[in-house]
Amino acid sequence: MMDKMILRPARPSDHAAIEKIIHEAFKTAPRASGDEAWLAHRLRAVPAFVPELDFVAEMAGNVVAGIMYSRGSVVGGADQWETLTLGPVGVLPACQRRGVGAALIRHTLDIARALGFRAVLIFGHESYYPRFGFEDAANFGITTDKGENFPAFMALPLYPGALEGVRGRFIYDPIYTSLDKAESAAFNARFRIPDPDVVFPLPAFLVTYVKPTLRNKNIVAGDFTYFSDVDFERHVTHHYDFYGDKLIIGKFCQIAAGVEFIMNGANHQMNAATTFPFYILEGWKQDAPPLSQLPVKGDTVIGNDVWIGQKATILPGVHIGDGAIIGANAVVGGDVAAYSIVAGNPARFVRKRFDDELTGLLEAFKWWDLPVDEIQRLIPLLSDGDLEKTKARLKNELKKRPAG
């Protein structure tokens, strides 16, 4: 498991993330209709929805799964018994087969039981749900609304004898069968548009956009900068408020797993006989030295479109220019020029990525500041290995821009 899992009630701010997770979870699932995300969106507005059972699983401060329930009933002649139905439930593909969905289902079933609900009826995978106690609804004399039974239609009594004497057809909210396909397709289209506020842009892998995960006001990241892991802030160390230093990262940066940003709080006093920090340890009689006595090196600033290789370490106060590449395991203690490559411990200049003309064109062009649709148009230019052709096209693009 990547981090400790927290199960908690869903908040309105979680809804968009839950819908995307459900969309991704069902995208390749057998028997999926493709309407699951639209159903999740619509379900919260119907009277049958049970908000007390709207829960998420969270890891490293990020929602990775969601579950929802609604009221239904078993109707037999003049008799009617209230029940629940479960779903949709979805787990981020990268977190599947790790017990996340099972934990969420068990937790919410316990709450449903405590709330006094009688039973849960579902249309689900017959090889998955029996582990929670679900069995063929036919065993309880319950059929679908059409009077049918099949292995995927299952029931779970929430307490002993809960379904004794209950016989009839299961009736659920019409929202489950009345979704408009065109509306669903239009809703799903949003998941194909690059969104800098989505946490998981590559749902099958634990890759996160940094900006929407940030909680520390002294860390700033631009749109679409990603980290090949979760909980980016855990990789920013010795970052103490009283120093006031910031980590500022531009747009479209690519930060590999294991990268660490060491901030100014790691520095010890170096202009005295000892570097030992008595003042931070219990029992020692030393006041904290003023910041002027500490080697504070200012903000750490990373430009745009910077690629930082796996397990690299960025030391306090470093400035890395646009388009630079930092080699894996590098320890960067000095500034790095735009569009240059550094590697090693300590990191040393390897070479320029491009000649001065192309570097100047890219610095003037600043493609990362353009609107998403314009970047989409320019992808063939930005990814073309023929750099002479790239120069010519950049010059033409710059000519089109209004002066000033």
Sign of CA dihedral 324, 327, 329, 332: negative
Q: How far apart are CA 40 and CA 23, in angstroms?
A: 9
User: Looking at the predicted structure, is the pLDDT value of residue 221 above 90?
Assistant: yes
Q: Where in the chain is the domain with CATH 3.40.630.30?
A: 5-190
Residue 252 has φ and ψ, to the nearest 5°, of 60, 30
CB atoms within 10 A of CB 277: 15
Residue 235 known to be catalytic = no
User: Looking at the predicted structure, is the pLDDT value of residue 403 above 80?
Assistant: no
* Nearest in space to 124 (alpha carbons), one of 141, 146, 96, 101: 101
User: Looking at the predicted structure, is the pLDDT value of residue 2 above 80?
Assistant: no
In Å, how far are 244, 358, 369, 386 from 362, measured between CA atoms? Answer: 32, 6, 12, 15
* Nearest in space to 314 (alpha carbons), one of 330, 298, 292, 291: 330
Task: Compute the average pLDDT of residues 382-393.
Answer: 96
* Nearest in space to 327 (alpha carbons), one of 305, 356, 349: 349
| Residue 321 pLDDT | 98
Mean pLDDT score of the chain: 95
Class of domain 207-353 as given by CATH: mainly beta
- How many C-alpha atoms does 189 have within 13 Å on its Cβ side? 7
The span from the first CA to the last CA of the chain, in angstroms, equals 52
When comparing pLDDT for 3 and 290, which is higher? 290
3 pLDDT tier (thresholds 50, 70, 90): low
Asked if 318 and 333 count as a contact pair (C-beta separation under 8 A), the reply is yes
User: Looking at the predicted structure, is the pLDDT value of residue 1 above 50?
Assistant: no
| Residue 295 pLDDT | 87
The structure tokens 């799903």 sit at 188
| Residue 72 pLDDT | 97
* Nearest in space to 2 (alpha carbons), one of 55, 56, 62: 62
Q: Where in the chain is the domain with CATH 2.160.10.10?
A: 207-353
pTM of the model: 0.87
In Å, how far are 19, 57, 193 from 41, measured between CA atoms? Answer: 7, 18, 18
| Residue 247 pLDDT | 98
| Residue 40 pLDDT | 97
| Residue 220 pLDDT | 98
Q: Tokens standing for 67?
A: 């579950």
Residues 6+ apart with CB under 8 A from 363: 322, 338, 339
CATH for the 5-190 domain, from 3.40.50.720, 3.40.630.30, 3.40.50.300, 3.40.718.10: 3.40.630.30
Q: How far is CA 345 from the centre of its chain?
A: 32
User: Looking at the predicted structure, is the pLDDT value of residue 243 above 50?
Assistant: yes
Q: Hey, is 348 helix, strand or coil?
A: strand
- Name 123's bridge partners: 153
User: Looking at the predicted structure, is the pLDDT value of residue 229 above 80?
Assistant: yes
How, if at all, do strands 300-302 and 319-320 pair?
Answer: parallel
Asked if 318 and 336 count as a contact pair (C-beta separation under 8 A), the reply is yes
- Name 71's bridge partners: 84
Model confidence pLDDT, tens digit, residues 255-296: 999 999 999 999 898 888 999 999 889 999 988 888 888 888
Residue in 15, 235, 239, 268 annotated catalytic: 268
When comparing pLDDT for 3 and 25, which is higher? 25
Question: What is the widest separation between alpha-carbon atoms in the chain?
Answer: 91
Model confidence pLDDT, tens digit, residues 181-210: 999 999 999 999 999 999 999 999 999 999
- Name 260's bridge partners: 313
